[in-house]
Amino acid sequence: MRRFLPVRRAVAALLTAASVLSALPAPAVEAPPASGLLSWRPVGHGYAHITLPDSASPAVHEDHALPVVFVLPDEGWDARRVWPYLDHLSLFGVTVVELWPDDDGRFGLAEAQAAIASAAEEFGLDPSRVALLGFGKGGRLALALAGPDRPVAALYPVCDGALVPDPGARVMVLHPDEASEARACAALVAGRPGARSGRASAGAGHGWDAVIERNSGRILLPRPDGSNSGAGRLPAQPDRSATFRAARAVSDFLLSE
């Protein structure tokens, strides 16, 4: 029988989660566990892993319904990037479902929609209580899937050219501390009462939650908009402070009314 154990991390772990990332060993490959492992299930055009909330959290026993947060990954994904956000959400009683593309690597809008619907059915989740957290390219996909009843937190999606088709969508964009990106993200959410954008923290760069290894050199992430020709990939700038602030902002936004 497949089992999905609840997260039982102490509150103190939340405060140090971002700093712990830098001390962890590098994964052998940037790929999800094999589909046959107990912790992942095939869903739609990908795989899904569910993390149940900390059963000791008072929020788990409250009457109001919490959203189920689906994570849409970036390309070149390292699953450790989501850990600080997952820890924070779990402590507030939130169930988190991480998604991963299937073996052909295609994970566009249609594939993301199919994976969310399939995972909700597979795990017996309420499809009307879905919220999305997207990283990089996953952030752009999340914005395209946002709606009034489907809040979205998009992290460093590169706002130029990104789309939010639903005029009533409730979205939050967190971007690097760069003037051009700040303008593009502000324009993306302009005129939308349920949308806002802002920098992750002072001095934050792209991919602030990337995991850097000691003496590993630069981390280059695929461009969220897919334009990896010309200027090439974007250098990630791991930043523990920005990661902690972003994790808190994501929880505050996704759990707000």
pLDDT digits (tens, 9 = 90+) for 174-233: 999 999 999 999 999 999 999 999 999 999 999 999 998 776 678 999 999 987 655 678
Whole-number pLDDT of residue 30: 43
C-alpha distance from residue 93 to each of 41, 61, 198, 223 (Å): 22, 8, 26, 33
**Domain assignment of residue 210, yes or no:** yes
Would residue 136 be called left, alpha or beta, if left means φ above 0 and alpha means ψ between -120 and 50 degrees?
A: left
**Tokens standing for residue 119:** 């995972």
**Domain assignment of residue 54, yes or no:** yes
**Domain assignment of residue 2, yes or no:** no
Tell me: pLDDT of 61 over 60. Answer: no
Other CB atoms within 10 A of residue 44 CB: 21
**Domain assignment of residue 5, yes or no:** no
The residue range of the domain holding 193 is 11-254
Sequence letter at residue 181: E
DSSP 8-state code for residue 147: B
Tell me: pLDDT of 27 over 60. Answer: no
Tell me: pLDDT of 56 over 60. Answer: yes
15: CATH: 3.40.50.1820
Q: What are phi and psi of 154, to 5 degrees?
A: -110, 125
Tell me: pLDDT of 68 over 80. Answer: yes
Count of domains for the chain: 1
Whole-number pLDDT of residue 89: 94
Q: For residues 37 and 78, what is the distance between their CA atoms, to the nearest angstrom?
A: 18
pLDDT digits (tens, 9 = 90+) for 2-25: 223 333 333 333 333 333 333 333
Across the chain, mean pLDDT equals 82
Q: For residues 116 and 209, what is the distance between their CA atoms, to the nearest angstrom?
A: 24
Q: What are phi and psi of 199, to 5 degrees?
A: -75, 150
C-alpha distance from residue 20 to each of 114, 209, 219 (Å): 34, 12, 18
Tell me: pLDDT of 116 over 90. Answer: yes
Q: Which helix (H) or strand (E) holds 204?
A: none
Burial of 198 (0-12, 13-18, 19+ CB in 10 A): middle
169 in Cβ contact with 195 (< 8 Å)? yes
**Domain assignment of residue 1, yes or no:** no
Partner residues linked to 50 by β-bridges? 97
Q: For residues 230 and 33, what is the distance between their CA atoms, to the nearest angstrom?
A: 33
143 in Cβ contact with 164 (< 8 Å)? yes
pLDDT digits (tens, 9 = 90+) for 78-91: 999 999 999 999 98
Q: Which helix (H) or strand (E) holds 195?
A: strand 195-199
**Tokens standing for residue 191:** 């005129």
Q: pTM of the full predicted structure?
A: 0.83
Burial of 9 (0-12, 13-18, 19+ CB in 10 A): middle
**Domain assignment of residue 6, yes or no:** no
